[in-house]
């Protein structure tokens, strides 16, 4: 099968690799239809984080179940599924608490999603079944469904952990695909005012389409002043931190009103943070790895199928698998918000 392989920073290749096989009775093999490039993939592509040479790439996909292990009874061959990156088991303490992103039974896989086939560990519960078949859906809807494997669920996780509720004023830090999906999530949960922190015109336009009511282009201390000015000096009821830099996290905590919660899903880029500063304002800090399967099953799949949300618009360029490196470059050079990869029809 064709699979995308990391060579070195700035270089990936599509190689012929053996099709993955079932190694455990809880696993399934999925034929990938659509995949995509994640902002977190750019970390190792840019050399910011380390990745093993000749390892496979990607963690977002939709596809058709090709094989199942003996203990997989709720998912069957031929099912059309969302493939969450979290691979939660559904029965450990973390999954039962609603946090399958922290599943105790998720083993690191030696294959990945930017390929013609993938192996999924906890298939019985972790895979999310989509009604019908791929041909039942429009191109736009297939893209919407693909976002539920990570980016839309991660944006929703930021809003969910920040406890966004009806009539709230929400600040969203970050105008990448996750931040834009955070705007969708905040609106879905009933926020009346959504302040998007964005410097890029194309992303600002999409942010407003998704529900942003205000745009703040400044950063650091100026951004704090601007948000406080928009909120009569009180700050926001909830803040979604979708970047992960030290500056973004610091700004997020300063634009939150006393007692607000910051929902943090931006992957931390520094090892330390002074949480003592939160003490004086009773600001809470939550968030982490998204609970993808839980959010999809409880809220997001229905929201997509009922056309309440249209997150697939974060895909602004598309590529076939043979040209996936162009998709990485497009995101690296900010020519694409998020790159869609058509693996098979």
Q: CA angle at residue 267 from 265 to 269, to 5 degrees?
A: 140
- Token duo for residue 148: 């539920």
Is residue 236 predicted with pLDDT exceeding 90?
Answer: yes
- pLDDT for position 275: 79
Average the pLDDT over 278-294 and give the result. 95
159/241 Cα distance (integer angstroms): 9
Q: 61-68 and 80-83: which strand pairing? A: antiparallel
Kind of pairing between the strands at 236-241 and 117-120: unpaired
CA distance readout (Å), 14 to 56, 157, 283, 310: 10, 32, 46, 31
Q: Is the pLDDT of residue 271 over 90?
A: no
What pLDDT sits at residue 170? Answer: 98
- The closest of 99, 58, 91 to 74, measured between CA atoms, is 91
Q: Which CATH number fits domain 155-286: 3.40.50.720, 3.90.1300.10, 1.20.1730.10, 3.40.50.300?
A: 3.40.50.720
- Average pLDDT estimate for 101-128: 91
Stretch (H or E) spanning 5: strand 2-8
Is 345 a residue whose pLDDT tops 90? no
Q: Is the pLDDT of residue 145 over 70?
A: yes
Residue 33: phi and psi, rounded to 5, are: -95, -50
Question: In the predicted model, what is the mean pLDDT of residues 37-55?
Answer: 92
Closest CA to 184 of 215, 231, 216, 151: 151
Q: How confident is the model at residue 269 (pLDDT cuts 50, 70, 90)?
A: confident
With 80 as the cut, is the pLDDT of residue 245 above it? Answer: yes
Would you mind telling me the total number of residues written for the chain in this entry? 345
Instruction: Give me 321's structure tokens.
Output: 């698998």
pLDDT above 70 for 294: yes
What pLDDT does 229 receive?
A: 97
To the question of pTM greater than 0.85 for the whole model, the response is yes
* Contact present, 113 and 83 (Cβ < 8 Å): yes
Task: Judge whether residue 102 has pLDDT over 70.
Answer: yes
**Tens digit of each residue's pLDDT (9 = 90 or more) over 186-215:** 999 999 999 999 999 999 999 999 999 999
Strand ranges (E), 37-137: 61-68, 80-83, 117-120, 128-130
The mean per-residue pLDDT over the stretch 77-87 comes to: 97
The pLDDT of residue 107? 76
Instruction: Give the tens place of pLDDT for each residue, 151-195.
Output: 999 999 999 999 999 999 999 999 999 999 999 999 999 999 999
340, 319, 321, 283: which is closest to 16 by C-alpha? 321
Choose among 242, 244, 227, 235: nearest CA to 278.
235
> 323 pLDDT band (50/70/90 cuts)?
very high
Whether residue 21 has pLDDT greater than 70: yes
How far apart are the two ends of the chain, measured CA to CA in Å?
A: 15
> How large a percentage of the chain has pLDDT more than 70?
99
pLDDT at 29: 97
Q: What stretches of the chain show up as alpha helix (H) in DSSP?
A: 41-45, 93-96, 123-126, 139-147, 151-161, 177-188, 201-210, 220-230, 246-254, 292-295, 301-305, 324-332
Q: What is the Cα 36 distance to its own chain's centre? A: 11
Strand residue runs (E) in 254-307: 256-264, 284-286
State the pLDDT confidence band at 49, using cuts at 50, 70 and 90.
confident
Task: Indicate the pLDDT class of residue 110, thresholds 50, 70 and 90.
Answer: low
Inter-axis angle of helices 151-161 and 177-188, to 10 degrees? 50
Q: What is the C-alpha separation between 189 and 170, in angstroms, rounded? A: 11
Residue 48 has a pLDDT of 87
Name the least confident of 61-65, 112-116, 271-275, 330-334. Answer: 271-275
305 backbone dihedrals φ, ψ, rounded to 5°: -65, -30
> Selecting from 3.40.50.2300, 3.90.180.10, 3.60.40.10, 3.60.150.10, what CATH number does the domain 2-150+291-342 have?
3.90.180.10
User: According to the model, what pLDDT value does residue 295 have?
Assistant: 98
**Does pLDDT of 326 surpass 80?**
yes
Spell out the domain ranges in the chain.
2-150+291-342, 155-286
């Amino acid at each position: 099968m064709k699979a995308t392989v990391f060579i070195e920073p700035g270089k990936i290749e599509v190689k012929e690799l053996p099709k993955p096989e079932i190694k455990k009775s809880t696993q399934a093999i999925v034929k990938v239809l659509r995949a995509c490039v994640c902002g977190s993939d750019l970390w190792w592509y840019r050399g910011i984080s380390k990745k093993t040479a000749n390892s496979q790439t990607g963690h977002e996909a939709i596809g058709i179940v090709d094989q199942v292990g003996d203990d997989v009874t709720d998912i069957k061959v031929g099912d059309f599924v969302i493939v969450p990156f979290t691979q939660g088991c559904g029965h450990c303490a973390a999954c039962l608490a609603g946090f399958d992103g922290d599943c105790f039974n998720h083993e690191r896989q030696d294959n990945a999603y930017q390929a013609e086939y993938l192996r999924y560990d906890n298939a019985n519960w972790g895979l999310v079944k989509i009604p019908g078949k791929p041909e039942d859906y429009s191109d736009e809807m297939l893209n919407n469904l693909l976002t539920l494997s990570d980016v839309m669920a991660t944006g929703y996780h930021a809003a969910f952990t920040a406890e966004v509720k009806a009539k709230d004023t929400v600040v969203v830090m970050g105008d990448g695909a996750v931040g834009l999906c955070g705007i969708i999530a905040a609106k879905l949960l009933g926020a009346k005012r959504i302040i998007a922190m964005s410097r890029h015109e194309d992303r600002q336009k999409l942010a407003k389409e998704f529900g942003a009511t205000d745009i703040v282009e400044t950063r650091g201390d100026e951004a704090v002043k601007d948000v406080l000015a928009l909120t009569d000096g009180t700050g926001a009821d909830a803040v979604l931190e979708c970047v992960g830099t030290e500056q973004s996290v610091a700004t997020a905590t300063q634009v939150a009103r006393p007692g607000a919660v910051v929902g943090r899903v931006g992957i931390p880029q520094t090892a330390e943070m002074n949480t003592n500063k939160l003490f004086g304002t009773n600001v809470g800090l939550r968030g982490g790895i998204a609970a993808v399967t839980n959010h999809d099953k409880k809220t997001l799949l229905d929201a997509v199928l009922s056309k309440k949300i249209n997150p697939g618009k974060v895909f602004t360029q598309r590529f076939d698998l043979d040209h996936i490196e162009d998709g990485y470059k497009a995101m690296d050079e900010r020519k694409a918000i998020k790159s869609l990869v058509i693996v098979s029809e």
